[in-house]
């Protein structure tokens, strides 16, 4: 196990972040993941990190704060927090977030408080978020199990067994076996995603039409100059990095006002520390005009009310139903994993890299190209075993993109 964890930590720093000699690493981690965070820090220094700067988080204290702090705590942007994120982002530091959360850590917190906190944190992280969305610095999100999360994924097992089983599952998703070849397997995997992306870029679809038996019947227009992206991105200096470990998707941006119909979620969504089930959106000219859920509907409605752009879509991602993560049969209750088990969409901000030259465009130019802008970005899963996606080209040809949940191109 020790060997596998070392290999995983090295993979994160080398493939995920592609950390350069002398570069600063901001390492954000739950305190419960300290042993794994230490391995990541050591792996970073092994590659010549200039400095590893820690940013600890804690589910328990976060929940206490959301339940018991005064309103002012959620409404006042702090200059020191702004400086922390802005300074390192402008410097081009690498940013690693070790993702581990009790899926219901904020259950019962008032949705209004969640929205206030999100707006305040977005104000503090304005520069950071903008540069992150435009790949202005290398960043990576990777998971490490904690007890509360593992118990949710494996409710019938003892805590120790559940954590061990979740580690096992997490390491499989990132292709780490302990044989020292994970990095090579990743290069191969990225090449496969790149080939898929290039096929779609050559076709340059005008629109995609989604249907399945859940009731999804949705048409998504794509911007004329859209680009599909795979899991590997590049900083302005040309340093390649992989922002999500795992990643199985290729993705682009929808035309903000070109989405119409109904879309139903295929898997539960964990958002803002609550579980939302059976999402059903009705969308007209890009705008979500109705949002229903069998559980967590108030949290969902708060999530799309963060700002006007939160009611519009920002991402269209294709993931085959036979992806290794879906094949595991597990529901991870964590979007990093579940979005890579399923075709997904996101409401909120679009990635500038999804149109030609987007990373060098101003906000106004991105708007003019039809890219949505919001301080939020929430992925939700729509891929089922019977999902069909048909693409229409600019000269009116209809081609199968997905049939029975898998790539048909």
Report the interface residues with Zn ion, using CB under 5 A.
249, 251, 315, 317, 346, 379
Q: How far is the CB of 229 from Zn ion (least distance, A)?
A: 9
Helix axes 111-124, 79-91, angle to 10 degrees: 50
Q: How far is the CB of 398 from Zn ion (least distance, A)?
A: 25
Q: How far is the CB of 341 from Zn ion (least distance, A)?
A: 12
The residue among 74 and 309 lying less far from Zn ion, judged by its C-beta, is 309
The residue among 149 and 228 lying less far from Zn ion, judged by its C-beta, is 228
Q: How far is the CB of 31 from Zn ion (least distance, A)?
A: 27
The residue among 63 and 377 lying less far from Zn ion, judged by its C-beta, is 377
Cα first-last separation, the chain: 39
User: 138-152 b/e with 16+ CB inside 10 Å = b?
Assistant: bbbbbbbbbebbbbb
User: 81-105 b/e with 16+ CB inside 10 Å = b?
Assistant: ebebbbebbeebbbbbbbbbbbbbb
Q: How far is the CB of 378 from Zn ion (least distance, A)?
A: 8
Q: Got the DSSP string for 285-352?
A: TTEEEEEE-SB-HHHHHHHTTSSGGGGSEEEEEE--TTSHHHHTT---SSHHHHGGGS-EEEEEPPPG
Name the residue number minimizing CB distance to Zn ion: 317
The residue among 85 and 251 lying less far from Zn ion, judged by its C-beta, is 251
**Pairing, β 232-234 against β 51-57:** unpaired
Report the Cα 150 to chain-centroid distance in Å.
Answer: 20
Contact status, residue 41 vs residue 28, Cβ threshold 8 Å: no
How many Cα atoms within 13 Å fall on the side-chain side of residue 15? 26
**Pairing, β 344-348 against β 313-318:** antiparallel
Radius of gyration of the chain (CA): 20
Q: Please tell me what DSSP assigns to residue 19.
A: P
Q: How far is the CB of 315 from Zn ion (least distance, A)?
A: 5
Q: Got the DSSP string for 59-97?
A: HHHHHHHHHHS-THHHH---HHHHHHHHHHHHHT-EEEE
The residue among 37 and 352 lying less far from Zn ion, judged by its C-beta, is 352
Q: How far is the CB of 318 from Zn ion (least distance, A)?
A: 9
Ramachandran assignment for 285, one of left (phi > 0), alpha (psi -120 to 50 degrees), beta (any other): left
Q: Please tell me what DSSP assigns to residue 119.
A: H
The residue among 59 and 315 lying less far from Zn ion, judged by its C-beta, is 315
By C-alpha distance, which of 374, 368, 336, 379 is closest to 129?
374
The residue among 186 and 251 lying less far from Zn ion, judged by its C-beta, is 251
The residue among 315 and 353 lying less far from Zn ion, judged by its C-beta, is 315
Q: How far is the CB of 58 from Zn ion (least distance, A)?
A: 25
Could you give the CA distance from residue 225 to residue 365 in angstroms, rounded to a whole number? 13
Q: How far is the CB of 337 from Zn ion (least distance, A)?
A: 12
- Residue-level length of the chain: 409
By C-alpha distance, which of 251, 248, 200 is closest to 401?
200
Q: How far is the CB of 251 from Zn ion (least distance, A)?
A: 5
The residue among 32 and 315 lying less far from Zn ion, judged by its C-beta, is 315
The residue among 32 and 349 lying less far from Zn ion, judged by its C-beta, is 349
């Amino acid at each position: 196990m020790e060997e596998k964890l070392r290999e995983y930590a090295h993979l994160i720093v080398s493939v995920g972040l592609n950390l350069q000699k002398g570069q600063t690493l901001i390492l954000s981690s739950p305190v419960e993941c300290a042993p794994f965070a230490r391995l990541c820090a050591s792996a970073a220094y092994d590659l010549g990190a200039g400095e590893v700067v820690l940013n600890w988080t804690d589910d328990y204290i976060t929940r206490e704060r959301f339940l018991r702090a005064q309103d002012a705590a959620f409404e006042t942007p702090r200059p020191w927090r702004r400086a922390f994120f802005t300074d390192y982002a402008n410097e081009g530091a690498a940013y690693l977030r070790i993702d581990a959360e009790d899926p219901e850590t904020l259950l019962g917190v008032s949705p209004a408080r969640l929205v206030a906190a999100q707006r305040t944190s977005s104000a503090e992280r304005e520069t950071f978020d903008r540069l992150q969305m435009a790949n202005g610095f290398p960043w990576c999100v990777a998971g490490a199990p904690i007890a509360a999360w593992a118990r949710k994924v494996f409710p019938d097992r003892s805590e120790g067994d559940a954590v061990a089983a979740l580690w096992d599952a997490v390491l499989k998703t990132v292709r780490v076996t302990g044989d020292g070849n994970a990095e090579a397997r990743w290069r191969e995997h990225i090449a496969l995603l790149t080939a898929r992306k290039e096929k779609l870029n050559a076709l340059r679809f005008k629109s995609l039409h989604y249907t399945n038996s859940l009731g999804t019947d949705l048409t998504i227009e794509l911007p004329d100059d859209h680009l599909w992206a795979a899991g590997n991105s590049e900083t302005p200096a040309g340093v390649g990095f992989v922002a999500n470990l795992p990643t199985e998707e290729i993705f682009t941006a929808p035309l903000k006002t070109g989405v119409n119909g109904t879309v139903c979620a295929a898997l539960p969504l964990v958002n803002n520390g609550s579980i939302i089930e059976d999402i059903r959106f009705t969308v007209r000219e890009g705008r979500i005009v109705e949002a229903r859920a069998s559980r967590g509907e108030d949290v969902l409605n708060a999530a799309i009310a963060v700002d006007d752009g939160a009611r519009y879509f920002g991402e269209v991602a294709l993931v085959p139903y036979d992806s290794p993560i879906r094949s595991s049969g597990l529901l991870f209750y964590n979007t990093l994993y579940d979005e890579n088990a399923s075709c997904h969409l996101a409401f909120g901000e679009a990635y500038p890299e999804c149109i030609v030259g987007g990373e060098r465009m101003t906000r106004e130019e991105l708007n003019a190209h039809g890219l949505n802008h919001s301080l939020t970005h929430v992925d939700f899963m729509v891929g089922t075993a019977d999902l069909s996606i048909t693409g229409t080209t600019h000269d009116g040809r209809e081609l199968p993109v997905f049939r029975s949940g898998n790539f048909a191109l």
